[in-house]
Structure 1
Amino acid sequence: MSQIPVILAAVLSFAITAVGGLFIIPFLKRLHYGQTIKEIGPTWHKGKQGTPTMGGLMFIIGIPVATLIAYFAMQGLDKNTFATILPSHRARLFYGLLMALAFGFLGFLDDYIKVVKKRNLGLRAREKMLGQLLIAAAYIAACYLSGDRSTSVQVPFAGDIELGLWYFPLALFVIVGTVNAVNLTDGLDGLSSSVTFCASLGFIVISGMLGFAGMNILSAALAGGCIGFLLYNFYPAKVFMGDTGSLFLGGLVTALAFGIGLPVALVLLGIIYVIETVSDILQIGFFKLTHKRIFKMAPIHHHFEMCGWSEVKIVTVFSVITLIGAVLTIIWVSAL
C-alpha cells in the first residue's frame, strides 16, 4: 500500500486541528466556556479556573475530515489496495468514526451542561452511562449487520479464542470501559492527548503490518490531530479538550482496536488508561472497606502530583510507558 494517503491523513489532521485552534479558542473565550475546577482536585488546579474547554472540537473536525480525504485519495493513488479492502473493513472504519463522533456529541452535551447550565458535574451518571451503552451497542450491531460476524479474539500466548455470544457483552464492556478510562486520564495539561498520540503510533504500525488500509489512515489522522491539539494543550494549557474531546478520543481508540480485530491490544496500547482506571477503582473500594486511602489522590496522576512531580514529568513518564506498551504490542502482533 502507498504511504502517501497515510502521510496525507497525518499532515491534514495536524494542519486542520492546529489552524482550527486559532479560531475555536478565541470563540470559546468569547462565549465564556471556561472550565470549572472541581473542589476535590489538587488545590493548585484552581489557577486553571476559566481556561476554555470543549477544545476537543478542534480534532473532532480535523481527524474525520483528514481521514475521509486521505481515504478517497487512496482510491486514485492505489486502486488495487482500495479494491481489496473488504466491505467489513470499510464498515469498521466508517462505523468506528460515527461511534467516536457520537461519543464526542455525548461529551459535548456533558460540557454544555457544565459551562452553560452551570451544573458542575454535567450529565447525571446514569444518563451518561445509558448514552454510552446505546452508542456502543449501536456500533456492535452495525458491524454485525454489515457482515462482520466474528466472535473470536486474539489473546497473547493463547491464540484465537472463540467467545460465541459472550463476545457481545464483553465488547460492550471494553468499549464503554475504554471510553471512560480515556476520559479519566484527561486530568493534566497534555496528558490524555500525549498518551493517545503514543498509542496511535502503535496503531499505525500494527494496522500497516496487518494490512488494514483504512485503519492505517485513521490512526495516522489520530496522531496528527493529537499533535495539533498539543500545540495548545501542553503545559500550561491554553485550552482543555473537555468531555467533548476525551469521549471522542476514547471512541476512536476503541474503533481502531476493534477495527484491526485486536481489542485485547488495548491492554498494552492503552496501559495508562488501564492503570488510571484501576487506581481509581482501588482507591474507592479500599476507602469504602477501611476508610483509608491507598493513594494520596486518585486517579494515579494526581497521586504523583501530590508527591511533588510536575505535570510535564508525569506526562513524559506516562507517555514513555505507553510507547513501551506499543512496542510490546507490535512484538506480539509480529509473532502472530
Structure 2
Amino acid sequence: MPIQLYHLIAFLVSMTVVLWTIPDVKTLGLKLGIVDRPNARKIHKNPVVRVGGVSIFAGTIVALVMVWLLGGFSALPPHKVKEIWVVIIGSILFFGIGFADDLFNLTPISRLLMQFAVATACWYMGVRIDFVSFPVYSLIKIYWLSLPITVIWLVGMANAINWIDGVDGLAAGVSGIAAFVMLVVTLFMNQPAAALIAAALAGGALGFLRYNFNPAQIFMGDGGAYFMGFTLAAVGIVGLVKTTAITAVVLPYLILAVPIIDMSAVIFSRIWKGKSPFIADKSHLHHWLLKSGISQRQTVLFIYSLTFWVGSLALGFSNIPSGWGYAIGATMLLSWQVWQVWQVWRATHSSNR
C-alpha cells in the first residue's frame, strides 16, 4: 500500500472517531458536571462541557494505532518509528496532565513541573532540537543548549495553544490549519513518519470544529489543548528541525507563529504591568479584537486567515510547487479579512462618538 494512503487513512479515521464520540463525551460531561462555567474573564454565557479534548486525543491515537496495525510503520526507518512512539507517549502524558487539570484544577506550578518532566524525557528519548538557524544562512549546533531549548519549545507550544483557546473554534481551527500545513510540508520534505502524526492530528482538530465552532457545543479543555500543542511542537522537531536543512529548521516556528507571538506578547505585557505571567487576563489578540467590537466569528476567521497566511509562507519557503502562489492567495484573503475587521472597528467607534 502506498505510504500516502496511510496518511489519508490516519486523517479520515481520526476525524471519524472525533465526530462519532463527541455526542457521548458531551452527554457524560453534562451528567458528571464537568463544565466550564461563565465568569468575568470568559465570554460564553452558559455552562459548556470542557473535556472535548478526550475525542481529539482518542481520534488521533486510534488513527495512529490503526495505521500501525495495518503495517503503515513497516515502510519507515526504525529510528523514525521510534520517534513516532516517543511522540505518541509524550502526547498521551501531556493530555493526561491537561485532563487532570480539567477535573481537579491543578496549580500552574504543578502543571509546569509535570510538563517539564515529560518534555525532558522526550528529549532523552530522541525528540530534540540539535540545531538552530542564525540568522537564516547557516546551521549552528547548540550542544548542551539542546535540552533547555527543546523543553521550552515543547512546553511553550502546549501552553500557547491552551492560551488561545478563549473563543469558540479558535484553538481547534488554528491547530488544524497548522497540522495540515505541517502535513503538506513534511510530505514534501520526505518525512512520512512526521506526516502521519500531522495527518491524524489535522483530522481530529478539523472534526472537532463540527461541535466547537461558534456557537460551541463543547470545549476541548486543557487536555485537548496540551495534547495538540505538544504534538504540533513534536512534529515540528521530528519532521522538520531534525532534517538539518536550513530552511526546514525555521519552518515550525513560522507555521506556529500566531500562537507563539500571541503568547510572547501576553507574557511581556503581564510582566510589564507587574503581574504574574501565569494569571489569566484579557490581553490576548482575540480579546483585543472582541473589545474592538468584532464578533466572535469574525475574530476567529481573522486569526484563521493570519494562521493560513504564515502557513502559506512556509509553503513558499519550502519551495513546494506553486507554494508562492498559495502565499499570494493567502495574502489576498488576509487583506480582505483585515478590511472587514477595519470596517467593523470604524463603524463601531464612529457610533460611539
Q: TM-score category by the smaller chain?
A: 0.7 to 0.9
Matching of residues 1-336 of structure 1 within 5 Å: 1-39=2-40, 41=41, 45-48=43-46, 50-75=47-72, 82-83=74-75, 85-113=76-104, 122-143=105-126, 151-154=130-133, 157-262=136-241, 264-288=250-274, 297-334=282-319
- Residues 119-148 of structure 1: CA deviation (Å, up to 9, x unaligned): xxx21121111011001001111127xxx8
Q: Which runs of 5+ in 1 are unaligned?
A: 76-80, 114-121, 290-295
SS of aligned partner of 2:140: strand
1:30 CA displacement = 1.1
Deviations 1:45-66 (A, max 9, x none): 2513x21111100111011111
Offset at residue 215 of structure 1 (A): 1.4
Deviation per CA, 1:233-266: give whole Å up to 9, x if none.
0000000000011011111111111111426433
Q: 1:261 to 1:53 in 2, by over 3 A?
A: same
Q: Per-residue CA shift, 1:189-236, capped at 9, x if unaligned?
A: 000000001101111111101212121111111111011111110000
Unmatched 5+ stretches in structure 2:
242-248, 276-280, 321-353
Indicate the SS of the match to 1:161: strand
- One-letter amino acid of the counterpart of residue 271, structure 1: A
1:268 to partner: Cα distance = 1.2
Structure 1 residue 154: Cα displacement: 4.7
User: Residues 25 and 51 of structure 2 are in contact (CA less than 8 Å); yes or no, is this contact kept in structure 1?
Assistant: no
Would you say the 8 A contact 1:5–1:74 is kept in 2?
no
Using the alignment, how far apart are the partners of 2:135 and 2:179 within structure 1? 20
Aligned sequence identity (%): 23
Code of the residue aligned with 2:103 in structure 1: it is Y
Question: 1:330/1:74 Cα in 2 relative to 1: closer, same or farther (>3 Å)?
Answer: farther
What residue number does 1:117 align with? none
Distance change (3 Å), C-alpha of 1:322 and 1:74: farther
Shift of 1:334: 2.9
Q: Distance in 2 between the 1:166 and 1:15 partners?
A: 41
Distance in 2, matches of 1:308 and 1:19, equals: 36
Deviations 1:22-47 (A, max 9, x none): 211111111111103343x15xx251
How far did residue 164 of structure 1 move? 1.1
Q: Distance in 1 between matches of 2:19 and 2:159?
A: 26
Deviation (angstroms), 1:323: 1.2
Shift, 1:74, TM fit: 4.8
How big is each residue's C-alpha offset from its partner over 1:263-319, in whole Å with a ceiling of 9 and x where there is no partner?
Answer: 643321111111220231232123229xxxxxx931121111111111111111111
Q: Give yes or no for contact 1:200–1:220 (8 Å, CA) kept in 2.
A: yes
Q: CA deviation at 1:157?
A: 2.4
Give aligned pairs, total. Answer: 307
Aligned partners of 2:84 and 2:44: how far apart in 1? 40
Inter-CA distance 158–4: structure 2 relative to 1 (3 Å threshold) = same
Distance 1:227 1:63, change over 3 A: same
Distance 1:300 1:160, change over 3 A: same
8 Å CA contact retained: 2:240, 2:252: no
CA RMSD of aligned residues (A): 2.1
2-structure distance, mates of 1:6, 1:151: 27
How far off its partner does 1:165 sit?
Answer: 1.2
Secondary structure (helix, strand or coil) at the match of 1:237 reads coil
Alignment-mate amino acid for residue 68 of structure 1: V
The answer to whether the 8 A contact 1:5-1:71 is kept is no
TM-score, with structure 2 as normaliser: 0.82
Distance 2:71 2:259 in 1: 33
Q: Aligned AA for 2:190? A: G
Deviates more, 1:320-329 or 1:179-188: 320-329
Q: Is the 8 A contact 1:276 1:301 kept in 2?
A: no
State the distance in 2 between where 1:127 and 1:222 align. 27
SS of match in other structure, 1:334: coil
Q: Is the 8 A contact 2:15 2:204 kept in 1?
A: yes
